[in-house]
Structures are given as structure tokens and as C-alpha cells.
Chains A and B, each alone.
Chain A
Amino acid sequence: MKLEYTAEHQAFREEVRAWLKANVPAEPLQSFDTEAGFQQHREWEAKLYEGRWGMITWPEEMGGRGADLMQWLIFEEEYYAASAPLRVNQNGIFLLGPTLMEYGTEEQKKRFLNGMATGKDIWCQGWSEPNAGSDMAAIRSRADLSEDGMHYVINGQKTWSTRAVWADWCFGMFRTDPESERHHGLTFILVPLDSEGITVRPIPQLDGLPGFAEIFFDNVKVPVDCRLGGEGEGWKVAMATAGFERGLMLRSPARFQETARRLVALYKANQQSADEDPSIRDEVLSAYMDAEAYCLTTYQTACRLMQGGKIGAEASTNKIFWSELDQRMHATGLKILATRGELEPDSPDAGDVGRWLDGWLFAQSGPIYAGTNEIQRNIIAERMLGMPRK
């Protein structure tokens, strides 16, 4: 065990820091759940791509830096410490990108990865359906292969597709064998959202903005070369993607450590009123320790993976931990703000209200998406502890 960065890592950190200092927009971008904000974020993605910081874990020939997990963690730390914009194309670069590299044909990689990297193509997920949320094996949307075998005809509905309103492409699983059940007979297909027969209906999130949407497919024709992996192999491909989602790539510790840092600052700035409820101080201390523990465990996992280990059911422990930590930290922030806690940051009397309400509203989604925390608890009990299924 050696819990120190090497000189190379320190140099890498300095390089990241310098670039971000010179390039992070002085004014925060608008929410990417607005049309103008979405455009601003596309431009930011293009800028990151130009500096080759957009997808640092991708191979160099694909515009990345071939960075290892340790460099990725360091990059994320600097990225959040610099308050750089959130990533509008994270579904693409963190989820679909790695899946494409594993299961895509050479032609597919050439065709999709670059557009994803530059921000030209923003991707959304097409996984959940009205009757298939965490239970993805209950998917009913159909993709029927045409008689000439040239394209699929898709019918059905997807829902809870984050950023689908302004996204360009959707990736999802569709039932290609109508006789099949559960996780058999599903196929992973990439669908251009400007195809004829697609209707996207925005669903306003708690903040009132159209953060996610329903997607309706009415005889949508998609060329067969948009299939990722073999026909009927969708479950296998999707599980790889879900592993990336629940595992390391979606939620780097830096985000929670920055929230904990802001929470400590908020507490100190309002200490007198905060201490009216002595339990608040305990919550602030716990927020710091839990964010720290999340970071430590992530580093441990990263080291293990770099030495050839595999990620297993502990990805589920990760998902529960960060999502519940996010809720707790924001709840504490609102308690400290007391009556100002209900105010939007740009309200005239908001003062140092900051992003606490926004963060609180967003945190409510954490225990639900990417497989609800109840599903994760079942996975831990059954696969990690070996408790009986029936």
C-alpha cells in the first residue's frame, strides 16, 4: 500500500489544472435542460475535445489520452474543483462509448465515437418502459427485421429518457423475438431521434424543466447496421453498459467531496443559526467523512481493477452509498438555510442559498435511476451475501 501520488500523477494534475483554469467559462452555463443551455454545453464538449480532455480514458486514436483509472480520478478531482460544467454527453462517453468499444464493429466505432466525442451527437438512453423500469427483462417494445433483412421496424414506447428532448440519438433494447420472454430475444439498437415515426414527449422534472421524456416509436425504420452486438444478444450488451453505470464511471467521488466542502463552508457561514439544532453539526461531519470514504473506496477499487481485478456486486454498494449520501448532504444544506432553504438561487432574498435546492431536487432521483436502490439491495443480498432467492 502506498497512498501517495507519483511525480507523473502530480504533473498530470498540474496540466489538467492549468488547462481548466484557462478554459472553464467564467459564468456558469445555463441548465442543459433548456434549449440554449443544451447548445452551450455542446460547445463546451467541443472545447474539451479540442484539448483532448473530453474522453481522457479513450484510446489516443479516438481523440482520448488512453488515461488509466488513476488519471481519470485525478482529472475528475480537478474538474469538479474548478467548477467546470456538467457533462451533457455523459450517456455517450461513459456508457455507450465503452460498450461500443467492446461490442461495436470497426465501422460502428468509426461512425459513432467521434461524433460522440465532439458533442455533435448527444445520446440518450432508451431502456426503461412504462412497465419495465428496474426490471429491464420486462421490455415489450418490438423491433422486427424487414423481409429483406436490411432494417428493423420499431414499435413501442420508452420512458424516463434523460435529455431525450434535445438529444440526437437514442440507444436501447428492443424485443426482436416476439415469442421470447424475459432477457432472451432482446437486441441492442442505436436509433437516430430524427427518424420518421418518432415522437418525443417531454416530461417536466421536479424543477419544472424537461429533463427527461417519453419516446414513442411508430413503425420507425432503422438500418440493420445500427444494431450493437448480435441479434438477441441485447441483454449481454446492456449488462456491460449497466455495469459501467453502477460502477465507477458515472459518479466520481470528486462531485460529492465538493458538495461536502461547500456544506462545511455553508455551516461555518451560518454556524450560529445552524447550531440551534445541534444534530446539524453531526450531519456536516458525517457528510465530510462519507464523501471521504466514498473517495477512499473508489481509489481502492480503481487500484484493484488496474491490477486486473473485476468489478462485481460491490458496484451495487457503490450506487446505494453515493445516492443516499447525496440526499443527506443536500437535506443538511437546506436545514442550515432554514426558511431560505425553499428559495431558488436567483430569488432576491436568496443570499448564499446557492445550488442547495436544485441539488436537493436532483438528489431525489439518485436512489431511483440506474436501478432503484431496492433492486441494488436485493443484488447485494443475493449475489454478494448469497441469501436465498426463493
Chain B
Amino acid sequence: MDFTFSEDQLLFQESVRSFLVNENTPEAIRQLWETESGRSDALWAQLAEMGLTGMTVPEEHGGLGMSELDFVLLAQEAGYVALSEPLVNSVLVAAPLLAECGNAELAAEWLPKMASGDARVVVGLGINKLVEDAHCADLLLLEQDGAIYAVDPAKATLRANQSVDPGRKLFGVEFNSADATVIADGDTAQSLIANALNRGALGVAAQALGLAQRMIDLSVQYTSERKQFGVAIGSFQAVKHHMANIAYKLEYAKTPVYRAAYDIANKLPRATLSVSHAKLAACEVADLAAKNSIQVHGAMGYTWEVDLHIFMKRAWAFNSSFGTAGFHKQRVAAAILADDAPLGAGATF
């Protein structure tokens, strides 16, 4: 039994964090909001250079052949800086789907390009009504009528939608199945879709942890500087308790997320339950972080001017991404209310 990350995993997390905090600053994010694509080719190239885009791409296709567990801490850091580049979905959803889909030709064509950062592949699952980042995709993998299609974006119609989070780009996508390739259908497609959904929900959960931590950090900094009645408002117990409430819940959302990553990486049957637990716990704490952070920021928290809203809006957007709370609660209920559910002391591992 070892519930810790290795020295290598922690060091990599640290270097990715310092890179992202330096590059994907709130100022840089605000600048990107003003551009048409909202995406930065230069940043994407840097992420690729660090090996991040190829982390889950098998080695024979030019990737690092690593697992979801190796990436989960990095997804957390992507959340910490509210990264808008489609890195997490590429590594956790698209690349493993291509590698597992059974279409060797498609995998051999696209996975090396994904690993090198030369192609962005985007997945659209039915659970998300709109497809993220379809506008910058070189290939779309779309669920429709129980099958998965590979679609050339040039042959699809994209309808842009504005999100509460200016950093998210969401598209209604229409395509003619005659113009597309079926890469899986029937039970194979169902299993691929279920796995992709779990990995997507894991990605959201891990990013939500990072978002919560960022909102704590911003609020601690703000309340330590902002003075009222002659003292920093962060010295008031009521303000401290708002922050402590986020911090202690965050500690108990992290381990379910790490366990979910482990379960997915090891293809354990309990992954469905542990992913839903992780998504619920992480989104709940990110939500609380947003609520308490806006409160301790006072009226400033309600403005476009402070950086808090960048992270708050991402957290709100994530609530329903890759499954609403209701969807995940149903999955938890199905697992633990079953007659033979293993519950109680000693049933965790």
C-alpha cells in the first residue's frame, strides 16, 4: 500500500506549475480573451515541447506512454492557472480513445501528430451537449447514435456559443455521417464512450482541485492586504473561517481524485464509482471556494477587475461538464445501494 506520488511525479508537477504560473498569467488570459480563437499556438507548442501533449500517447506512436495517474497532478496545475488550451481533454480523453479504438490506421496517423503537438484532436461525447474547442481541432471524434465517428472539421458545421467563462469555446457541431468514418459502434463504442467519460470527468475533477487552491491563494492574499477598521480583514475570524472551510474540504477532495486516477490507470471495475465520487467532491469544493472567495473579496469580487472571476467562472462551467452532479449521484447510488455492494470498514481497497 502506497498512497503517495513518487519523487519524479512531484518534481514534474513542480516544474509544470512554475512554467504555467509564469506563462499563463491572468494578464495573458485576458489578452487571449480578446483574440478570435482564444487559443495560443505559441503556448501549445511549449506544452508539446515539455512532452505534455504526448504523455498518454503510446511510445510506439512517439509519446511517453504514461498513465492517467501520471497526469492527474498536471491536470490539477492546469486548473490552478485556468488553462484554456485543450491539453487536459487531449491527454485524458482524446489520445487514449484513439489508442483504444481499434482503428490502427487512424491511430497511427493521428497519435504521433498529437504527441508532437502538430495536431489537436477533440472529442464530443453526448453527455456534453456542446463540443469544446471544435474550432481549433484538426480531427473531431464525435459520439452520435451510439457510434463514434471520425470527422474532418472542414466537413462539419460549427455553431459558436459563448460560455460564462470567456476562456471556454463551445460549439454545436453538425455533420453528415456519410462524410465521416465510423470508428466504433455497438458494445465497443459503448465501452469506449464510458471510459472516455470517466477520463473526462477525472480531468474536470483534477482541474477543480487546482481552481479551488487558486481561489484560496488569491483570497488569502487579498484579505491579508485589504484593510478595514485599521487592520487586515484576513485577521477577522469570520473571514478566516470562510477560508478554512474551503481548505479542509479541499484536503478530502484530493484523495478521491487521486484514487479515481489510480483506478482508471489500473482499469479497476470500481473506477465508475470512484470517478463519480471524485467529480462530486472536487466540483463541490470548487463551488464553495468561489462562493466564499467572492464574499471575502467584498464588492471587488463582483467585478471584472480582480482576477478571482477568471477562476470562479471556470469552476461554475465545470459543474455540468462530463456529467452533472445529478448524473454522478445516480452512479454513486447505483453502486452503493446495490444488494451486494461492499461497504464499511475494510472495503475501501
User: Assuming A1-B3, A387-B223, is B345 touching A258 (CB within 8 A)?
Assistant: yes
Q: Is B264 in the interface zone, CB < 8 Å from A?
A: no
Contact A390 B237 (CB under 8 A): no
Contacts of A4 in B (CB 8 A): 1, 349
Question: Which residues of chain A from 127 to 179 have a CB within 8 Å of any chain B CB?
Answer: none
In whole angstroms, what is the CA distance A5 to B333 when docked? 27
Q: Mark B227-249, 1 if CB is under 8 A from A, else 0.
A: 00001101101011101110111
Q: Mark A255-288, 1 if CB is under 8 A from B, else 0.
A: 1011011001001100000000000011001001
In whole angstroms, what is the CA distance A74 to B1 when docked? 11
Q: For chain A, which range describes its interface: under 10, 10 to 19, 20 to 34, or 35 or more residues?
A: 35 or more
Give the one of A9, A261, A385 with max B CB within 10 A.
A385
B104 shortest CB reach to chain A, Å: 31
User: Assuming A81-B345, A295-B348, A388-B224, is B1 touching A3 (CB within 8 A)?
Assistant: yes
Q: Is A339 in the interface zone, CB < 8 Å from B?
A: no
B5 in complex: contacting residue of A1, A267, A382, CB < 8 Å: A1
Q: Is A6 in the interface zone, CB < 8 Å from B?
A: yes
In whole angstroms, what is the CA distance A257 to B347 when docked? 9
A248 shortest CB reach to chain B, Å: 14
In whole angstroms, what is the CA distance A22 to B134 when docked? 64
Contacts of A320 in B (CB 8 A): 244, 248
Contacts of B240 in A (CB 8 A): 377-378, 381-382, 387
Give the one of B232, B333, B337 with max A CB within 10 A.
B337
In whole angstroms, what is the CA distance A295 to B3 when docked? 11
A293 in complex: contacting residue of B231, B234, B253, CB < 8 Å: B253
Contact B345 A80 (CB under 8 A): yes
Contact B243 A387 (CB under 8 A): yes
Contact A317 B345 (CB under 8 A): no
B346 in complex: contacting residue of A70, A254, A260, A385, CB < 8 Å: A254
In whole angstroms, what is the CA distance A81 to B344 when docked? 7
* Stretch of B51-59, B149-157, B254-262, B297-305 that contacts chain A: B254-262
Q: Is A296 in the interface zone, CB < 8 Å from B?
A: yes
Chain B minimum-CB-distance residue to A385: B220
Q: Is A21 in the interface zone, CB < 8 Å from B?
A: no
User: Assuming A320-B248, A385-B247, is B256 touching A264 (CB within 8 A)?
Assistant: no
* Stretch of A36-44, A45-53, A110-118, A299-307 that contacts chain B: A299-307
User: Assuming A261-B343, A295-B348, A297-B251, is B280 touching A289 (CB within 8 A)?
Assistant: yes
Contact B277 A303 (CB under 8 A): no
Contact B248 A321 (CB under 8 A): yes
User: Assuming A264-B337, A288-B336, A288-B343, is B251 touching A314 (CB within 8 A)?
Assistant: yes
Contact B336 A389 (CB under 8 A): no
In whole angstroms, what is the CA distance A110 to B348 when docked? 39
Main secondary structure of the interface of B (DSSP, over half): helix
Contact B69 A389 (CB under 8 A): no
Q: Is A13 in the interface zone, CB < 8 Å from B?
A: yes
In whole angstroms, what is the CA distance A30 to B348 when docked? 31
Q: Is A76 in the interface zone, CB < 8 Å from B?
A: yes
Contact B235 A6 (CB under 8 A): no
Give the one of B4, B216, B231, B254 with max A CB within 10 A.
B4
Contact B251 A317 (CB under 8 A): yes
Q: Is B332 in the interface zone, CB < 8 Å from A?
A: yes
B258 in complex: contacting residue of A1, A2, A267, CB < 8 Å: A1
Q: Is B97 in the interface zone, CB < 8 Å from A?
A: no
Contacts of A299 in B (CB 8 A): 1, 3, 255, 348-349
In whole angstroms, what is the CA distance A387 to B347 when docked? 39
Contact B332 A289 (CB under 8 A): yes
Contact A303 B3 (CB under 8 A): yes
In whole angstroms, what is the CA distance A54 to B1 when docked? 24
Contact A293 B252 (CB under 8 A): yes
In whole angstroms, what is the CA distance A385 to B259 when docked? 25
Q: Is B74 in the interface zone, CB < 8 Å from A?
A: no
Contact B231 A288 (CB under 8 A): no
Chain A minimum-CB-distance residue to B263: A3
Contact B4 A257 (CB under 8 A): no
User: Assuming A288-B343, A293-B255, A314-B251, is B1 touching A2 (CB within 8 A)?
Assistant: yes
Q: Is A344 in the interface zone, CB < 8 Å from B?
A: no
A290 in complex: contacting residue of B2, B5, B252, B344, CB < 8 Å: B252
What 6 pairs across the A-B complex have the smallest Cβ distances?
Answer: A381-B240, A261-B344, A254-B345, A296-B255, A77-B346, A317-B248
Interface residues, chain B, with chain A CB atoms under 8 Å away: 1-6, 69, 216, 220, 223-224, 231-232, 234-235, 237, 239-241, 243-245, 247-249, 251-256, 258-259, 262, 277, 280-281, 329, 332-333, 336-337, 341, 343-349
A-B contacts, 17 listed (Cβ < 8 Å): A1-B3, A6-B1, A9-B1, A74-B346, A257-B343, A258-B344, A268-B337, A289-B280, A292-B256, A293-B281, A300-B255, A317-B247, A317-B248, A321-B249, A377-B241, A381-B234, A386-B224
